[in-house]
Structure 1
């Protein structure tokens, strides 16, 4: 028979043995969980690095294709800056289709006709639904097609004045309209002229026509008004479509503080040799 003290000692001993048996199992369980988490983090990190590397590689290929088109149009620009939107990139690669690719062409100069050129500080291009098979990206030789392309750029007012070719003309934007002003001499008088321009898109180019040109100090003499109308006609400008990559043509134009904001567009464009 065990006394009360012996029974208590026995129970404590059993408890100590039980705890001793359990503690290492908890440590082993926690250790296994840590190993699994570390492996998952390493795997995830590897996928992110691979995704980033593949994205940079594809952006370089597309940038080279765009640069080829710029040269083919006898235009010039700084190195194209390409950004493939969306994450993860690898799923788009496997599918061979990219929802949107942004292409920026800094300091673009494109020929128009003769010696005339259009200079854009930045042509910001958004290409949507881009088909680029993996083999085309890997070899750099296959065809890449774009379903829809939009772009914006600004023709600044000093450049536009030079294209108009009339000395003394000043241009600005007011209430969403292009305003022109100039000074002319008629019958020995200095006349300060001003008027608004009508902007239209014709065959992928820009047409500028000044209407209702008036002079604040204009005498009521038909001859002088005829001279003013003749001067306004010389401020007209027909600017054919600049020769841009991706078959971009003018779709809309609007006056802003620093110049004419031009919206370009194109559809079903090839980035391969056949689309140059």
Structure 2
């Protein structure tokens, strides 16, 4: 048998339920507005940092496509108030600079800045420093650019078994041979990329000292130190590795001004 409740007892329960629902809806609306505001603030900061990165690249005599900047860490607004950001990633495409008259091209340079310090006033006015505790950069030198520096007709470079591989036509004792082999790749003086071709051979090459001497001289001629352009953000090259897409360059730096504007 259904139990009847007094009307004055039912109404408070219904009003209480409606009040609770209204409060939940209000909280959801406020949370949504905060999320929107947070994302808008991220966009403003990313555009400001991208502008500063472009200035830094130009200042060092290099060129690149417009930087792609992403600010990590959530929520963003608390980072703004604190003036410290967990992570900022920057992607530079088609980075080029003149090195002793030759163009060295990095199709992509990825920069990962950690623990970045930038005051709210700096972002608001565009005046002041944006400084990162650590910056790591990874870029790629295209094999075409590298082959152009070696300046040997028909020479091609690539990756083979984790090594830098070369193939080139060579004239030995009046005959054409296809020379192939690999090189040791290390970081040389002043951050240059050191190429040392020590293991070249050619199918059908005559077993004569003069023929071997020609091959050795060719190997010495293409064993050079490739100077790199000054990388942005004071990045110093630490490692170079041959990959299928090119020579991968790894660099790092500490206490780096992403850009200083006074």
Shorter-normalised TM range: over 0.9
TM-score normalised over the length of structure 2: 0.93
1:114 counterpart = 2:103: no
Distance in 2 between residues matched to 1:181 and 1:272, nearest whole Å:
43
- What SS does the aligned partner of 1:180 have? strand
Distance in 2 between residues matched to 1:224 and 1:274, nearest whole Å:
60
- 1:104 Cα deviation (Å)? 0.6
Mapping of residues 261-276 of structure 1, within 5 Å: 261-273=248-260
Consecutive unaligned residues of structure 1, counting only runs of 5 or more, are 1-11
1:211 counterpart = 2:198: yes
TM-score normalised over the length of structure 1: 0.89
- 1:130 Cα deviation (Å)? 0.8
Aligned residue number for residue 32 of structure 2 = 45
- 1:274 Cα deviation (Å)? 7.2
Aligned residue number for residue 64 of structure 1 = 51
Superposed CA offset, 1:33-90 (max 9, x none)? 1111111111111111111111111111111111100110121111111101111111
Distance in 2 between residues matched to 1:166 and 1:88, nearest whole Å:
54
Match of 1:180 among 157, 166, 177: 166
1:149 counterpart = 2:149: no
Match of 1:189 among 169, 175, 195: 175
- 1:212 Cα deviation (Å)? 2.2
Q: 1:155 touches 1:262 (CA, 8 Å); kept in 2?
A: yes
Consecutive unaligned residues of structure 2, counting only runs of 5 or more, are none
Distance in 1 between residues matched to 2:122 and 2:161, nearest whole Å:
49
Distance in 1 between residues matched to 2:169 and 2:93, nearest whole Å:
35
Distance in 2 between residues matched to 1:116 and 1:149, nearest whole Å:
27
1:169 counterpart = 2:155: yes
Q: 1:205 touches 1:242 (CA, 8 Å); kept in 2?
A: no
Distance in 2 between residues matched to 1:106 and 1:181, nearest whole Å:
28
Mapping of residues 19-38 of structure 1, within 5 Å: 19-38=6-25
Distance in 1 between residues matched to 2:178 and 2:97, nearest whole Å:
34
- What SS does the aligned partner of 1:75 have? coil
Match of 1:220 among 195, 204, 207: 207
- RMSD, aligned CA: 1.8
1:133 counterpart = 2:119: yes
Match of 1:242 among 229, 232, 240: 229
Corresponding pairs, count: 260
Distance in 1 between residues matched to 2:260 and 2:81, nearest whole Å:
24
Superposed CA offset, 1:107-152 (max 9, x none)? 22123x2322221221111011111111111111111111111111
Q: 1:166 touches 1:234 (CA, 8 Å); kept in 2?
A: no
Q: 1:191 touches 1:218 (CA, 8 Å); kept in 2?
A: yes
